[in-house]
Every structure is written in C-alpha cells, then in structure tokens.
A and B are shown apart, each in its own frame.
Chain A
C-alpha cells in the first residue's frame, strides 16, 4: 500500500482509541465492532480497490 495518509500523532491517537474501544466492548463483541468499523471506513474511503488491497495485506502473516 502507498504511503501513510496520517500524521504520526494522528495514527497514534487512533491506535490508542481502537485498543480502548476493543477493551471496552469486550471479547465477545469485538469482532462485530471491527466488522462495523471496516464497513464504515470502506464507505468513507469510497475506493473498492484500496479496500481490497488493505484486506489482502491484513490477511498476511497472521
């Protein structure tokens, strides 16, 4: 994927917020939270290829 689209500071805040949101909803609801988040972000991004690429990268090295 191409270069970072966020500043160091912004991505760090997102990192923390995501971690805390996962802790807050608990293990059982975590997958649902993440699935919703992906759909929302994908819709914001409005770029099917970018999402597919990201999906492929996310699936690597698990």
Chain B
C-alpha cells in the first residue's frame, strides 16, 4: 500500500499544502484516455497544453505535495512563452525575478560579464528566477481551474503493460492497488522514472563524477538579481561557487565539493554552516541566515534514444537527464511538452497519421543530444572531471585576468529554443534562401512588439498559423484546407479588414514586415508550437497545401 508523506515538508518560507487522495476515473466520453504519470512541472505543462487542443487527461502523482526544495529556479524566456501558450504566465511574472546579467569572478576580480540578449521586442526577460514550489503551485492552480485536467494525488505507478489496443498501468494507493487502462501514457515521472525502468529502457550518455551542494538560505543579502560565479575561492580551492537570487528573500548557493568528500559529510551541519559563512564573507555579506533546504547533486548528460514507445511517450527528466549548468532541466522539458501536445491532440482527434508522434521523438531527441553536447562542455569547465580538464580550466582562469580571447571558453551558454532545421514536418520546397531576415525554417517565430503590451507571439496560439503579408484576400492562403485548426493572420499597413482573415495585424511602419524579411505575398507557415515549418516570398496554392498537409502528417497525404 502506497503511503506518501502526509506531513507538510519543512521549509522556512514555503507553506506546503497536502492535497487529498481521491480516486478518479474516465467517463467514457473522452476522445481518448490519456494518463500522465507525474505531476512535476513537465507532466502538468503537458496536461494544460493538451487541454488547449480539447484533449482531457488524468495525472497520476505519487506524492501529495509539491517539489521538495526549490530545485529548478531559472526559467528561460522560451519557457515563459510556453507558459503563456498554456495560459498561466501571469503569476510567474508577478512572483519571479527577471535578469539578464551573468558575472564571473576570479581572485577577487571580475573577469567576465555576460549580458543575455534582450530587447523590447520581447514580452519576457531572458531568465526569470522562481522556485520550483511556485512553478508547480501555479500549474496546479491552472489545472484545478481547467475542466479538462485533473490530478490524482498519492498514487504511485508500479507496473505497466501494453498491447496493440491499450496500455494498462498498475497503480498503488493508500486504499490498495488497481489497474487503469489508457490509450496513451505520458511518462513524466522524472529523473528516476519508474516507467523507464519497468520498460527496461536505457539512456545513452554520461554521468559526471563531481558532486556539488545546492543550499537555499533565507537572508537579507543586498545584491541585485544576476548570476554570480566565483571561481577558485580561497575557502574552496580549485572549485567554484554560484550565487542566485530567488523570490521571497531566498538565495541559492551552489558549490562543488572537494574531491573524495561524501554527500553525507558535505551536508553535515557544522561543515555546511562553516562553508555558507565562508561564501557570505566572500561576497561581502556577513548577514544572519537560516537554512531552508540543502542537497547534493551531480551532473549527467543522458537521453533516451527514442521518446515514443507505442502508446507510451516520454517527456522531461524521464526522457533525459541534463546538467543544471545552463539551466537545462526544466527548460528543456517544457519544450518537450509543447512539442508533443499538439501532435498527440492531432492524432487523437483524427486526421493526422501516427507518424506525427515520431517527429516528436526525432525532433526532441536531437535537441536533447545537442544539449548533452553543450551541457557537457559547460560541465567539464564548471566541474572538471579529470586532471587534464582541470589543468585547462585553470589555464583559462589564469589567462582570463589579462586575455580576452579565453572568455568564450568560460561557457555561459544557456538553454535556448531548438531549431528543427531538418524536421520531416518542414516544407520540402521552402523558399528560405530568398530571405535576408526573419526566422528560418525550424526556428521559433521571432518575438516582435506590435504595440504596448502587444506582441506577435500573443497571436500564434492554439493553431497552425498562416502569417501572410497581404493587402487583400486574393492569395492562395485563403483557399487552404486543414484537418488541424488553421488560422490566417494577415499583416498589412493600415490594418484594414480582409475577408477570410481570422485576424489582421496593423504594421504601420512596416517594422514587422522588415523583421520578417517580407514583401506583399510573403507567407510563413507556423506550427502550433510556434516553430516555422515553411516560408515563401511567393507561394503557389499546391505548394502551400502540401506544406500544411506535411506539417500535420495529414492522413490522406
């Protein structure tokens, strides 16, 4: 019998709530029985993303409360754009702390500053700091408000089997266990995924040996919101310390352990206290503090080679384990969920071939592999795994005091939206070469400010979009058919209505046209996850129809 913790977890600042266990079932009226295993950030984002395409789902979660500790604290702009798509970005903006500056210190000198690209074309800051407890809480609130999404707390998946017809989960609860039949199972059960283990799936990649401590303290520290990295501080020779600000007066301290020290030794109260005091002294902030949460972590760059296994679809940490350097865990997972949801909805509602799901796997596995590659580089710099890597890292640090050219070796790469340049969903006769500006095929549509508090991405929501730069309704765009909801957005100079357009965007000074390299007649085909899958200066009706069919793997195509 599954007995999750029923006492609220300890925290100096976050009031944990214990949610009730209540058994839920399908009514039989659903278009499909979709079960999501795991109410972490990614499972919940997937549920909300499916709901915007009319697909209900049931989340099965083994715990009865949100994340233990703040864990993922940095959301990228892309994650915020995805949260906007699923309708819940506002509380994140109200609570979170935006920033764009990273600073590195070595021997008391600032050796590198990294300014993340920012401009007023964007609704969201490059990075927003917010604790995972809040991330999950806001997602839970959105789920509770949505009639298509539900969470069954305190229920642990212990078995899975599937055949042609159905996948069956064994679920253990405080009332005993039972079987639950599903048409689709989304495995969002985190880094230690039970489903991955039950299905005997192996991840490819590497686990790094260096351990580091993550400690959250509550303290009145007078520093701005930015990422600070201190290399080789006197109190922890050869290792580095990261300092991040979180909402509610919480500070994240992150440092590598001396080699050979065990996690138990590192978390021992006296040792930890002394080190936290050393860090505070190092940053010139000898203030009173109290410990909220501390844990020991290590870096991996691992991914499943395939995220789709018949009726079981893997997302988030269940699919890949990524290093926190470059804030990759949760941010990569949100992109998984956003890629998967519209595709699964299209297959469930009919009209799209199951092949569409394979594109989820190939696009996101490729993204995960790129991230493993990039994240591996950051990890080898931040926690050098061998004597050779340590020597080179030390050489770079030493040179950084006087030489600019090594600064690019300090690895400030952060999680970014991936470009599906060779996706099977992309148009085969894309006219991209003719463009000198605008998002290329596979890229996320570039954000563009239309007016105060009004951005292009606000309108690329919930449908396949044809963005057409036109003056009247005589182009091929207006003849297109699609099994998936299709939106025609017309951009013109005076904003005058165009019959057949779902929306007209007024581009008074041609700024949007210029940013998108467009002339009259230019068309962008944009997927429901805002990735461009074709663009043409001028396009024939047959080409455009073929591209639409291809983008959604239309069945008759």
Cβ distance A46 to chain B, nearest Cβ, rounded Å: 10
Residues of chain A within 8 A of B287, CB atoms compared = none
Assess whether A19 is interfacial by the CB under 8 Å rule.
no
- A54 and B395 alpha carbons, distance in the complex (Å): 19
Q: Name which residue of chain A comes closest to B395, CB basis.
A: A35
Assess whether A32 is interfacial by the CB under 8 Å rule.
yes
Residues of chain B within 8 A of A36, CB atoms compared = 395, 398-399
Q: Which of A32, A36, A38, A43 has the most chain B CB atoms closer than 10 A to its own CB?
A: A36
Assess whether A58 is interfacial by the CB under 8 Å rule.
no
- A31 and B388 alpha carbons, distance in the complex (Å): 10
Assess whether A4 is interfacial by the CB under 8 Å rule.
no
A3-42 vs B, Cβ < 8 Å mask (1 yes, 0 no): 0000000000000000000000000000110011011100
Q: Is the CB of A40 within 8 A of B403?
A: yes
B376-406 vs A, Cβ < 8 Å mask (1 yes, 0 no): 0000000000000001101110110001011
Q: Is the CB of A32 within 8 A of B398?
A: yes
Tell me the B226-267 residues at the A interface (CB within 8 Å).
none
Residues of chain B within 8 A of A40, CB atoms compared = 399, 403
A32 with B396: in contact, given A39-B406, A40-B403, A43-B405 (CB under 8 Å)? no
Q: Is the CB of A31 within 8 A of B406?
A: no
Q: Name which residue of chain A comes closest to B406, CB basis.
A: A39
Cβ distance A19 to chain B, nearest Cβ, rounded Å: 20
Band of interface residues on B? 10 to 19
Cβ distance A37 to chain B, nearest Cβ, rounded Å: 9
Cβ distance A16 to chain B, nearest Cβ, rounded Å: 23
Q: Is the CB of B392 within 8 A of A35?
A: yes
Cβ distance A12 to chain B, nearest Cβ, rounded Å: 26
**A31: which of B391, B399, B403, B405 is its contact (CB, 8 Å)?**
B391
Residues of chain A within 8 A of B394, CB atoms compared = 32, 35
- A41 and B405 alpha carbons, distance in the complex (Å): 12
- A32 and B396 alpha carbons, distance in the complex (Å): 10
Residues of chain A within 8 A of B398, CB atoms compared = 32, 36
Q: Is the CB of B406 within 8 A of A35?
A: no
Cβ distance A29 to chain B, nearest Cβ, rounded Å: 10
Cβ distance B404 to chain A, nearest Cβ, rounded Å: 10
- A32 and B405 alpha carbons, distance in the complex (Å): 17
Residues of chain B within 8 A of A43, CB atoms compared = 403, 405
- A35 and B393 alpha carbons, distance in the complex (Å): 9
- A32 and B388 alpha carbons, distance in the complex (Å): 10
- A36 and B405 alpha carbons, distance in the complex (Å): 12
Q: Name which residue of chain B comes closest to A37, CB basis.
A: B395
Q: Is the CB of A39 within 8 A of B396?
A: yes
Q: Is the CB of A35 within 8 A of B391?
A: yes
Cβ distance B304 to chain A, nearest Cβ, rounded Å: 33
Residues of chain A within 8 A of B392, CB atoms compared = 35, 39
Residues of chain B within 8 A of A39, CB atoms compared = 392, 395-396, 399, 406
- A36 and B409 alpha carbons, distance in the complex (Å): 13
Residues of chain B within 8 A of A31, CB atoms compared = 391
22 contacts between A and B (CB under 8 A): A31-B391, A32-B391, A32-B394, A32-B395, A32-B398, A35-B391, A35-B392, A35-B394, A35-B395, A36-B395, A36-B398, A36-B399, A38-B395, A39-B392, A39-B395, A39-B396, A39-B399, A39-B406, A40-B399, A40-B403, A43-B403, A43-B405
7 further interface pairs, Cβ-Cβ under 8 Å (given A35-B391, A35-B392): A35-B394, A35-B395, A36-B399, A39-B395, A39-B396, A39-B406, A43-B405
The 7 closest A-B pairs by CB, nearest first: A35-B395, A36-B395, A43-B405, A35-B391, A31-B391, A36-B399, A32-B394
Q: Which residues of B contact A (CB under 8 A)?
A: 391-392, 394-396, 398-399, 403, 405-406
